[in-house]
Chains A and B, each alone.
Chain A
Amino acid sequence: DGGITQSPKYLFRKEGQNVTLSCEQNLNHDAMYWYRQDPGQGLRLIYYSQIVNDFQKGDIAEGYSVSREKKESFPLTVTSAQKNPTAFYLCASSTDRGRNSPLHFGNGTRLTVT
């Protein structure tokens, strides 16, 4: 079955360390997205990519970085510059490059930084 795989499901890091979250899709979707979810705040867009080797900042990109070297993969790095990194991170993809196609989500990675 096609889908989006996020790994690991749980991630623990010490403050000051960079950490990379993995997102892989086998849906052959062009566009991929990273969202951050905090209790009571809904989902906020961090970065998105509509095509390989290109990506755009979302609403809360500060302290994060991404790459899109392959269509299937869109890893997110949470850097030490992110002031409040503990959160639930969701990766998504869509067929359409940013128009009206629905998002397909992975099962998320819960990051805890202490």
Chain B
Amino acid sequence: AQSVTQPDIHITVSEGASLELRCNYSYGATPYLFWYVQSPGQGLQLLLKYFSGDTLVQGIKGFEAEFKRSQSSFNLRKPSVHWSDAAEYFCAGGATNKLIFGTGTLLAVQP
């Protein structure tokens, strides 16, 4: 069965430190993959998407993600975290009408 897994429920980083949020997918073919961010009580905002081609994808707010087929991963990275990045992050995969979301990773940023 198709699945998207985010192994880390909660991560805390210091402001200015680098960040990597993990996402693993299980699909037969190359999936469509997305990262979304959600602030408390708000909807989700698209950070970046991968459909095909270059495996390193650039997104908004200085985020990037790398698709690694051999590891079935699509990890989200940011070189230097800002306090405003504190939020919940969701990885999702599949076609739009059958999108499967991970359970989310809550990011806390320490001053």
Q: A102-B34, A102-B46 are in contact. Are A43 and B101 (CB under 8 A)?
A: yes
Q: A103-B46, A110-B41 are in contact. Are A43 and B95 (CB under 8 A)?
A: no
Cα(A33)–Cα(B99), bound, Å: 11
A42 at interface (Cβ–Cβ under 8 A)? yes
Q: A40-B9, A42-B104, A43-B90 are in contact. Are A103 and B41 (CB under 8 A)?
A: no
Cα(A73)–Cα(B102), bound, Å: 27
Q: Which of A62-70, A76-84, A90-98 lies on the face that meets chain B?
A: A90-98
Mask: chain B, 82-99; 1 = CB below 8 Å from A; 0 = not: 000000001010011111
Would B104 and A48 count as touching, CB distance under 8 A?
no
User: What residues of chain A lie closer than 8 Å to B95, measured between beta carbons?
Assistant: 98-100
A105 at interface (Cβ–Cβ under 8 A)? yes
Would B43 and A99 count as touching, CB distance under 8 A?
no
Query: Which of B90, B96, B101, B104 has the most chain A CB atoms closer than 10 A to its own CB?
Result: B96
User: What residues of chain A lie closer than 8 Å to B101, measured between beta carbons?
Assistant: 42-44
Cα(A97)–Cα(B95), bound, Å: 10
Question: In this complex, what residue of A is CB-closest to B97?
Answer: A98
Minimum CB–CB distance for A95 against chain B, Å: 9
Question: In this complex, what residue of B is CB-closest to A9?
Answer: B41
Would A108 and B98 count as touching, CB distance under 8 A?
no
User: What residues of chain A lie closer than 8 Å to B49, measured between beta carbons?
Assistant: 100, 102
Would A100 and B41 count as touching, CB distance under 8 A?
no
A53 at interface (Cβ–Cβ under 8 A)? no
User: What residues of chain B lie closer than 8 Å to A106, measured between beta carbons?
Assistant: 43
User: What residues of chain B lie closer than 8 Å to A114, measured between beta carbons?
Assistant: none
Cα(A51)–Cα(B97), bound, Å: 12
Query: Interface residues, chain B, CB within 8 Å of chain A?
Result: 9, 32, 34, 36, 41-46, 49, 51, 90, 92, 95-99, 101-104
